[in-house]
């Protein structure tokens, strides 16, 4: 009889079944763990690409120029949000992508190809003569003076001569082969679409206040002792020639918290003690773009102080006779003479203007 053998088979079978059950449970647990790990890895990777999509979307919407980020926005399997910060004139976009509780943060700087990397830049000759003084400061660190004085008042041309005359001091470099292409001025469609404007004429001793808005005039003419006050963000298009001319002791005042951007098809001339009062003392709040192609298109003369920037690539820019400038300028040619003082605002190297002709690119991102 085989009774002993039969008695041995049963325990072996039970043990084998237990082993198989334990092995199967372990395999299920391992598969579950691997599955969870795969889900986490997939969600993390998706969060990264969702964040990258947020960076690209914010850039496409002009966040580098407007400073406006994006609130949490659904995208694909998750959502993104984008914040915009500015440090020493550099605009940075920071995006957070989130998927299934996992998040990834990416950051990229906005790179501005702006010729305002120089105090003065032109395709043609730059001439400095008779007691001209040039240096730099950074308006994001406060007003000029004290520790806020630098040696970055750089001057550059695209191959033309830089002529330095008597008693001229330049605290900066001089470059005659900068190779910086100057984009043409394109008047924004919001201005060209406006009805043809009439002349804005201010008679003696009168003051006009312009609130925020878009304006189109054929000319702007000032009589003596008049004032134009800018109380909000103003875009102004002047189509005639001369575009802007002022009488004795007239004043243009840009209030703190406001800005004035002028597009001029004709000559712009500030002389005869015309005061250009930029109360915020921020050069990027007073901008002059010139499309003029004739001679001497932009001039500031006779005891004026100007906090602002000038972009006039197709005409001459002239400043003389005790004029003090805080900002930067671009012209076909540039002439500074007769006790001119120019302080380059270093923050303009990252100048950003949603209406400007300058190209803004998004730099390489990095994960943070």
**Separation between Cα atoms, residue 60 and residue 195, nearest integer Å:** 30
Mean pLDDT estimate for the chain: 87
Domain count, the chain: 2
Same domain, 308 and 201: yes
Same domain, 311 and 294: yes
Same domain, 134 and 95: no
Same domain, 345 and 211: yes
DSSP code at position 322: S
Same domain, 133 and 60: no
Alpha carbon 365 to its chain centroid, in Å, reads: 18
- Give me the torsion for CA of 277, 251, 248, 315, rounded to 10°: 70
pLDDT (average), residues 352-364: 67
pLDDT (average), residues 105-128: 87
* pTM (predicted TM-score): 0.71
Same domain, 143 and 86: no
Sequence-distant (≥ 6) Cβ neighbours of residue 288 within 8 angstroms = 262, 264, 268, 298, 308, 309, 310, 311, 312
pLDDT for residue 112: 61
Q: Which domain holds residue 147?
A: 115-350
CA distance readout (Å), 340 to 136, 146, 324: 14, 20, 6
pLDDT for residue 20: 56
pLDDT (average), residues 225-249: 91
Q: Which burial class, exposed, middle or buried, applies to 111 when counting CB atoms under 10 A from its CB (0-12, 13-18, 19+)?
A: middle
Pairing label, strands 162-164, 126-129: parallel
pLDDT in tens, 319-346: 988 889 999 999 999 999 999 999 999 9
Same domain, 68 and 8: yes
> What would the two tokens of residue 4 be?
């002993």
Same domain, 28 and 161: no
pLDDT (average), residues 231-247: 91
Same domain, 158 and 15: no
Same domain, 167 and 303: yes
pLDDT for residue 93: 93
Same domain, 304 and 164: yes
Residue 100's CATH number:
3.30.1300
Lowest mean pLDDT among 92-96, 124-128, 185-189, 238-242: 185-189
Same domain, 262 and 242: yes
């Amino acid at each position: 009889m085989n009774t002993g053998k039969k008695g041995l088979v049963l325990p072996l079978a039970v043990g084998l079944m237990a082993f198989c059950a334990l092995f199967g449970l372990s395999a299920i647990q391992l598969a579950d763990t691997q599955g969870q790990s795969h889900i986490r890895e997939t969600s993390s990777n998706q969060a990264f690409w969702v964040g990258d999509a947020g960076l690209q979307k914010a850039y496409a919407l002009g966040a580098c120029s407007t400073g406006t980020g994006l609130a949490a926005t659904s995208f694909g399997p998750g959502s993104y949000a984008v914040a915009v910060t500015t440090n020493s004139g550099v605009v940075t976009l920071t995006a957070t992508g989130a998927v299934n509780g996992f998040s990834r943060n990416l950051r990229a700087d906005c790179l501005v190809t702006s010729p305002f990397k120089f105090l003065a830049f032109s395709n043609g000759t730059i001439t400095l003569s008779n007691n001209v003084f040039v240096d730099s400061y950074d308006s994001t660190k406060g007003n000029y003076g004290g520790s806020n004085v630098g040696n970055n008042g750089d001057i550059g041309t695209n191959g033309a001569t830089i002529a330095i005359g008597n008693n001229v001091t330049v605290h900066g470099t001089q470059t005659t082969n900068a190779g910086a292409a100057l984009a043409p001025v394109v008047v924004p469609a919001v201005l060209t679409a406006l009805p043809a404007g009439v002349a804005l004429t201010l008679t003696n001793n009168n003051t006009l206040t312009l609130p925020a808005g878009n304006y189109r005039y054929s000319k702007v003419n000032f009589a003596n002792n008049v004032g134009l006050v800018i109380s909000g963000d103003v875009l102004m298009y002047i189509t005639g020639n001369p575009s802007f001319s002022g009488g004795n002791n007239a004043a243009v005042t840009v209030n703190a918290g406001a800005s004035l951007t002028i597009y001029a098809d004709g000559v712009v001339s500030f002389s005869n003690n015309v005061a250009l009062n930029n109360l915020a003392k921020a050069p990027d709040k007073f901008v002059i773009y010139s499309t003029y192609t004739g001679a001497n298109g932009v001039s500031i003369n006779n005891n004026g102080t100007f906090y602002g920037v000038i972009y006039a690539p197709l005409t001459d820019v002239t400043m003389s006779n005790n004029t003090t400038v805080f900002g930067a300028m671009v012209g076909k040619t540039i002439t500074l003479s007769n006790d001119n003082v120019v302080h380059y605002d270093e923050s303009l190297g990252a100048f950003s203007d949603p209406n400007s002709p300058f190209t803004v690119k998004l730099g390489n991102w990095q994960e943070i």
